[in-house]
Amino acid sequence: MDCLIIGQTANVMTKTKDLSFWQMFNLSFGFFGVQIAYALQSANISRIFATLGADPHQLSFFWILPPLMGMIVQPLIGKWSDRTWCKMGRRKPYLLVGAIVAVLVMLFLPNAGSLNLSTAYVFLGLNAAMWFGLFSLIFLDTSINVAMQPFKMMVGDMVNEKQKAEAYSIQSFLCNAGSLVGYLFPIFFTWIGIANTAPEGMVPDSVIYSFYCGAAVLIVCVLYTFMKVKEMPPKEYAEFHGIDSQKAEQKSEGLLKLLVKAPKTFWTVGLVQFFCWAAFLYMWTYTNGAIARNCWGTTDVASAEYQAAGNWVGVLFAVQAVGSILWALVIPRFKNLKLAYVVSLLAGAVGFASVMFIHNQYVLFGSYFLVGFAWAAMLALPFTFLTNALEGNPYMGSYLGLFNCTICLPQIVAAATGGAVISLMGGSQGAMLLLAGVFLVLGACSVALVKVKATK
């Protein structure tokens, strides 16, 4: 591919052309497929590793490396794509490569227990099957990050300030629709007769087939966006964002220097992000164990009851996705987006806190529906605030990549400390979800620090 460094003279007058609904829809449609992969990962990873032999105190550690890879990969993707223009586009080449790698890994990860390694080659307390699954998880999360980030960047690149809240809400809608599909795959396959149990140390076929189907949908959706979206050429991009020739021609600044120059919005929204993403890391890690204990009365990962609880977690996460889909349609109707942020996080806090006290699997629908409100806001509003604050900045992609650290770092901290925290909670996985609710309350309080740029 012949690539050009962006450096063409541009007019300083920013264009304000609006995109149609379908143009914004096409821009984010591939996110539907990417999120199916992410949903399968988030809903099933703890289940997979518990099946392979991990105990509850180990589970959080399996979540450290994926966000760590995200912290490394996404700033680099942003930096490289900021300065590169290829015949295929600016962000789209990274999107395609990430999707292809994710598809390949999704075909291997759920088979970690089928290699006859579960009782052999124990190293650092992990058997070989868990090591295989761990490295597969690293590659899966890295590739999902590579595929995911360009969608956020393309909205920042191609949508004006006035429409960004709507564009990111459409992206949130598609994201949660993808989550809904991904979460329901295992219970759907169980319903049509695919085995939901397996010999000790092996992952059930219902989960394996879910990953296979998710991989197929992922590549189809990404190819749709890849073919439908035409990114702006360098000159048009510079004109659209009001970047003058001097800024456009300057050499790329280092990521550390850009971080020092980051707008205040970057840091204040980042603080909110810290509490929110730590809370959701606890949800992904401990929901399976909490629901199995509270509603099925079991902690035996080899039992049919535990695997049934695992399927029900997918249903609950699907309910969360429905809540997110509906709430994503409501968020743009708020005149004050900060108020929308606070209301969303407080609703999610109530949802999380209630899980510890509920022992009926159907009553949990209400809890996770409310959690979906917080998730919808987390997917849309931080990027709306930040990209509006960065308007006219030639390093949009780099900053969005760096901003991903506010997503990854809290997950790393929560995962690294999860074993110690759950011990303090008496080993109760339900109590970890109560703590997640406390984190969302702290996030809602932190929204007061965010300064929102008025849209034109």
Rounded Cα–Cα distance for residues 355 and 47 (Å): 18
Closest to 164 measured CA to CA, from 309, 18, 369, 32: 18
More confident residue, 197 or 281: 281
Q: DSSP letter for 49, please.
A: H
- Comparing 49-63, 65-79, 368-382, 404-418, which segment has the lowest mean pLDDT? 49-63
Average pLDDT over residues 174-196: 85
For the chain, the 3-state helix, strand and coil shares in percent, each to the nearest 5, are 75, 0, 25
Does the pTM surpass 0.85? The reply is: no
Question: Can you tell me whether residue 261 is helix, strand or coil?
Answer: coil
**Exposed, middle or buried: residue 97 (CB in 10 Å: 0-12, 13-18, 19+)?**
middle
Contact 316, 358 (CB under 8 A): no
Token duo for residue 47: 């289940």
Q: Which of 92-106, 209-223, 226-240 has the lowest mean pLDDT?
A: 226-240
Look at residue 14 and tell me whether its pLDDT is greater than 50.
no
The least confident of 7-11, 237-241, 261-265, 305-309 is: 7-11
User: Residue 420's CB: how many other CB atoms inside 10 A?
Assistant: 11
Query: What pLDDT band is residue 186 in, cutting at 50, 70 and 90?
Result: confident
Alpha carbon distance 221, 244 (integer Å): 36
CATH superfamily of 21-449: MFS general substrate transporter like domains (1.20.1250.20)
The CA distance from 202 to 129, in Å, is 9
Confidence bin at 112 (pLDDT 50/70/90)? low
Mean pLDDT estimate for the chain: 80
Q: pLDDT tens digits for 122-146?
A: 555 566 667 777 777 778 888 888 8
Average pLDDT over residues 238-258: 65
pLDDT recorded at residue 250 = 52
Q: Please, which pLDDT band fits residue 8 given cuts at 50, 70 and 90?
A: very low
Ramachandran area for residue 159 (φ above 0: left; ψ -120 to 50: alpha; else beta): beta
CB count within 10 Å of CB 236 equals 14
Domain definitions of the chain by residue range = 21-449
Positive or negative, the CA dihedral 393, 91, 19, 378 is negative
| Integer Cα distance of 248 and 234 in angstroms | 9
Per-residue pLDDT for 417 more than 90?
A: no
pLDDT at 233 over 90: no
Q: What is the dihedral of CA 375, 28, 386, 450, to 10 degrees?
A: -30
pLDDT at 342 over 90: yes
Query: Angle between the 396-403 and 364-389 helix axes, to the nearest 10 degrees?
Result: 150
> Looking at residue 60, what is its pLDDT?
61
Joined together, the tokens standing for residue 412 give: 């790393």
Tell me the residue type at 159: V
Q: Is the pLDDT of residue 352 over 50?
A: yes
